[in-house]
Amino acid sequence: MNFDFSKYFNTANLEKLMWVLIILVVGVALIYLLAFVVNKVLPKSLSKQRKMIVRRLIYYSGYILLAFILIDQLNIDPTPFFGAAGVIGLVIGVASQTSIGNIVSGFFLVGEKSFEIGDVIKVGDKAGVVFSIDLLAIKIRTFDNQLLRIPNQTIISTELINVTRFPIRRLDFNVSVAYKEDLAKVKTLLEEVAKANPLSLDEPEPLIVFKDFGASGIDILLGIWFEKQNYLKVKNSIFQEIKARFDAEGIEIPFPHVTLYTGEATKPFPVMNTTTGKK
């Protein structure tokens, strides 16, 4: 069987192929250039999420337009493609209902604006910084620098906490003191610790609540208001300052004790010092 290469590899076809390659390279370059320019001229007040949406609209629409231009240059009749696309779309739609649900959920997430790129969120027992919001899922960078992917449909149907939504937040410290301590003195010490910390806000005022009579002591809640970017500094500094002030003032922080009782009719259990070997 003789194959006529000249039918396909001739001057006209090579010239057409060259033009297609030039259009492809220039078109891709123009799409990226347009996205770059638009990203620069967008207002700085616009969130990272909205800038990302604008860029993707430019990319998707640019590639679709470029595809039609290339098809026209190749003199290809697009009608059969539309028919095949309908059949393929139906098959894919039936086989990928979960993906379609994620895409629809992604539009709801973008419209609802519960969080944006750069926010710290908690989903279940997972927490991290929103790294990307895509069509099928959001990507979170956890605090130990791992990438966590969560499908959009899961986000829509799960309780989500946006930790950094507002400029200030409250950090709660659960403190316990022995029953013998003077609660008025303890309250005064906690107030002094909160006021002395430069990262603690005066307004709203620190919150002090006597919560429960616990198993080993009285449980107290100390709530400190601070600017959201100072979370770790506030947590570490307040924790250390409470411990230091309690030690300096002789305030006992209780811990569970275990007492062994054998009854009146038996002798006490012998207790031996393992270091000296004496009872």
Q: What is the pLDDT of residues 193-233, one digit of tens each?
A: 999 999 999 899 999 999 999 888 999 999 999 998 899 99
Does any domain span residue 190?
A: yes
Q: What percent of the chain has pLDDT over 90?
A: 35
Range of the domain at 189: 168-249
Cis preceding linkage at 204, omega within 30: yes
Q: What is the pTM of this model?
A: 0.59
Does any domain span residue 202?
A: yes
Closest CA to 243 of 182, 179, 172, 193: 193
Cα separation, 227 vs 230, in Å, equals 6
Mean pLDDT of the chain: 81
Out of 33-47, 115-129, 222-236, which region has the weakest mean confidence (pLDDT)?
Answer: 33-47
- If asked whether residues 178 and 205 sit together in one domain, one would say yes
Cα separation, 192 vs 211, in Å, equals 20
The CATH number of whichever domain residue 245 belongs to comes to 3.30.70.100
Residue carrying structure tokens 């697009």: 78
Closest CA to 252 of 172, 182, 173: 182
The CATH number of whichever domain residue 157 belongs to comes to 2.30.30.60
Please say if the pLDDT value at position 154 is more than 80.
yes
Does any domain span residue 200?
A: yes
Q: What is the pLDDT of residue 142?
A: 92
- If asked whether residues 177 and 158 sit together in one domain, one would say no
Instruction: Identify residue 120 by its one-letter amino acid code.
Output: V
- If asked whether residues 121 and 53 sit together in one domain, one would say no
Does any domain span residue 232?
A: yes
- If asked whether residues 153 and 201 sit together in one domain, one would say no
Q: How confident is the model at residue 68 (pLDDT cuts 50, 70, 90)?
A: confident
Cα separation, 113 vs 107, in Å, equals 10
Cα separation, 213 vs 222, in Å, equals 16
Structure tokens belonging to residue 150: 């969560």
Q: What is the pLDDT of residue 181?
A: 92
Q: How confident is the model at residue 66 (pLDDT cuts 50, 70, 90)?
A: confident
Is residue 217 packed enough to be buried (19+ CB in 10 Å), middle (13-18) or exposed (0-12)? buried
Domains held by the chain: number: 3
